[in-house]
Amino acid sequence: MKLIILDRDGVINYDSDQFIKSPDEWKPLPGSLEAIARLTQSGYRVVVATNQSGVGRGLFDMPTLNAIHEKMHKACAQAGGRIDAVFFCPHAADADCKCRKPKSGMIEEIAERYGMDLHGVLSVGDSLRDLEASVRLGAQPVLVLTGKGQKTQAKGGLPLGTLVYADLAAVVATLVQE
């Protein structure tokens, strides 16, 4: 099985320091939905792993998060793609849970759900915590320069072997040869 793990905010859609708190605020980055469609059409299972501390902070509730994800699923489908699953951590940063990236609980859950070793599986994010969570399980860290990606790259300290691309579409163009 071919699997790819994507962070949501800053990779698939525009990010916001004030959080994405409603379906209206969820806006796809240029080329991201088409990139997911190319992955889907090439036999990849596309899985999203996203911290959503806005739930734990009381900025939005679970029905709203579900509505945001429903909009994302529909937008991907309209572009010819599919997101197979969305894994998320609803906890605030101070909750000390096991699922919030950079901890690897969410990524472990993905490995368990799909019954596979994640060694070499691409894990695409725009922040250091996205990369750190996946690299613990042997996934290949990929930094995109959208969202917080440029700031992340400038800070340095990326996991050894991190691949860097302009955006999700550039990752997919390299991965999926026509």
Q: Which residues pair with 18 in a beta bridge?
A: none
Q: Report how far residue 70's alpha carbon sits from residue 63's, in angstroms, rounded to the nearest whole number.
A: 10
Instruction: Tell me if residue 23 falls in helix, strand or coil.
Output: helix
pLDDT (mean) for 144-169: 97
Burial of 59 (0-12, 13-18, 19+ CB in 10 A): middle
Per-residue confidence (pLDDT) for residue 93, from 0 to 100: 87
Tokens of 136: 């613990």
Backbone angles phi, psi at 9, to 5 degrees: -70, 120
To which H or E segment does residue 130 belong?
helix 128-135
The catalytic residue positions are: 7, 9
User: CATH fold of 2-175, please?
Assistant: Rossmann fold (3.40.50)
pLDDT tens figures, 7-21:
999 999 999 999 999
Kindly state the percentage of the chain with pLDDT values over 90. Answer: 96
pLDDT band at 106 (very low <50, low <70, confident <90, very high): very high
Is the pLDDT reported for residue 178 higher than 80? no
Domain ranges of the chain: 2-175
* Gap between the Cα atoms of 142 and 128, Å rounded: 10
Predicted structure pTM score: 0.96
C-alpha 148/C-alpha 115 separation (Å) is 31
**What is the predicted pLDDT for the residue at 177?**
78
- Mean pLDDT for 103-108 is 96
